[in-house]
Amino acid sequence: MPSKVSIIVVNFNGMRYLDACLDSILIQSYQNFELIFVDNASTDGSLEHIRKRFPHLNYVVNDRNRGYAGGVNSGLAVASGEYIAPVNMDTEADPDWLINMLDFLQSHPEAGAVCPKVLIMDQRNVVNCNGLKIHVSGLGFCRMLHQPDMPDQAPQRVSGISGCSFLIKKDLFDRMGGAPEYCFMYNDDVVVSWLLALMGYDMYCLPQSVIYHRYRLSMTPVKFFHLEKNRLYLIFTTLHWYTTLLLSPLLLVIEAMVLVYSCLKGWPYPRSKLGAYWALFKERKTIWQVRKAYGKLRRVSDFTLLSRLAWNLEWGQLFGIVRFRLRGTRS
């Protein structure tokens, strides 16, 4: 029997995106899947609209907004497939998006997860990301951001999979506890990728599998808070103390750079950075519990883990963020 895939779409007030997203999933060339629609207490009528138009979907309705990771886990709890495919609600998938990922993952047991090539929705010859480039400090960058799409590329081993869309075995996802719910927003894909590397698995981007994403570069104080909190949370819950000590010069340089960046952006950003530190202090007991859980997943040394990550920053991408913001592009 062909393997069953559970596709999870998490919605929060996504009325303007959902029809196109779900239509593209339902016409996939590979049809042995269940589509689980998770609603995070939307208030725009999108749940009622989708229930009326697609009554045959599997619905999970949360009584509060659990964030993207919490929404994925709500779907994971009822999933019956052997594979899990979380998908952002503001995407549209090519017809062979699913079959290409599934074929590759089934034929490469060393791969823990795969992600498609993600192109920008309104510029379909421009790359949003071909997987992630994850720095040893926990910073995540889009690979090949804003570069022209190159057809006929071979599968690419990457240090991270994009949370916009990926495919993973359900038993493997269950072992790591699903998506990290302490990441209410942002960096959940960095955490999943980091844990897969900790467990000794490779990750790949498959350019033959394509999905389109409504993406714009931006930064807000709220986003900055979650990015920094989740990044430091990851460091404190996975690395041995002596590794953190050895990396401390680099980590302190990164902290100084982030603080300078926040000051240049204006008061709401330093306040968000300080808020991230305070949140970590308040959650120190939870961090210790998560650290023990992640320790049980470990199959490789810190040295091997760090060798799978990047040691150089994406300076061009950072400058690109400034350039695009000066042009008035927002998300």
Q: In whole angstroms, what is the distance from residue 301 CA to residue 248 CA?
A: 18
Summarize pLDDT for 25-48 with one digit per residue, the tens. Answer: 999 999 999 999 999 999 999 999
Of residues 118, 49, 47, 123, the one with CA closest to residue 87: 118
Count CB neighbours of 267 within 10 A. Answer: 10
Q: Are 2 and 79 in contact (CB under 8 A)?
A: no
Can you give the pLDDT at residue 329? 34
Summarize pLDDT for 175-195 with one digit per residue, the tens. Answer: 999 999 999 989 999 999 999
Q: In whole angstroms, what is the distance from residue 183 CA to residue 68 CA?
A: 8
Summarize pLDDT for 213-271 with one digit per residue, the tens. Answer: 998 877 899 999 999 999 999 999 999 999 999 999 999 999 998 898 889 888 999 99
Q: In whole angstroms, what is the distance from residue 321 CA to residue 61 CA?
A: 36
- The one-letter amino acid at 274: L
In the chain, what are the helix, strand and coil shares in percent, each to the nearest 5? 45, 20, 35
Radius of gyration of the chain, Cα coordinates, nearest whole angstrom: 19
User: Which residues are 133's β-sheet partners?
Assistant: 141
Can you give the pLDDT at residue 216? 80
Provide the percentage of residues in the chain whose pLDDT is more than 70: 95
User: Residue 321: is its pLDDT beyond 60?
Assistant: no
User: Residue 153: is its pLDDT beyond 90?
Assistant: no
Lowest mean pLDDT among 124-138, 203-217, 313-327: 313-327
Summarize pLDDT for 124-144 with one digit per residue, the tens. Answer: 999 999 999 999 999 999 999
Lowest mean pLDDT among 212-216, 270-274, 299-303: 212-216
Helix residue ranges per DSSP H, 140-283: 170-175, 188-198, 221-238, 241-265, 268-282
Of residues 4, 16, 13, 9, the one with CA closest to residue 214: 16
Domains of the chain by start residue, with CATH: 5-213 (3.90.550.10), 221-326 (no CATH)
Can you give the pLDDT at residue 1? 66
pTM, 2 dp: 0.93
- The one-letter amino acid at 212: Y
* CA distances to 16, 76, 120, 134, 260 from 168, in Å: 28, 12, 23, 19, 38
Confidence of residue 323 (pLDDT cuts 50, 70, 90): very low
User: Residue 158: is its pLDDT beyond 50?
Assistant: yes
Can you give the pLDDT at residue 211? 98
Calculate the average pLDDT of the chain: 92
What residues have CB less than 8 Å from 104, skipping those under 6 apart? 111, 114, 155, 204, 206, 209
* CA distances to 183, 272, 292 from 224, in Å: 12, 7, 27
* CA distances to 34, 116, 257 from 31, in Å: 9, 18, 48
103-126 per-residue burial string, b: 16 or more CB within 10 A, e: under 16: bbbeeeeebbbbbbbbbbbeeeeb
The tokens for 23 are: 């239509």
Q: In whole angstroms, what is the distance from residue 264 CA to residue 211 CA?
A: 35
Tokens 């060339």 correspond to what residue?
29
Can you give the pLDDT at residue 318? 58
Q: In whole angstroms, what is the distance from residue 44 CA to residue 82 CA?
A: 33
When pLDDT is averaged across residues 93-122 and rounded to a whole number, the result is 97
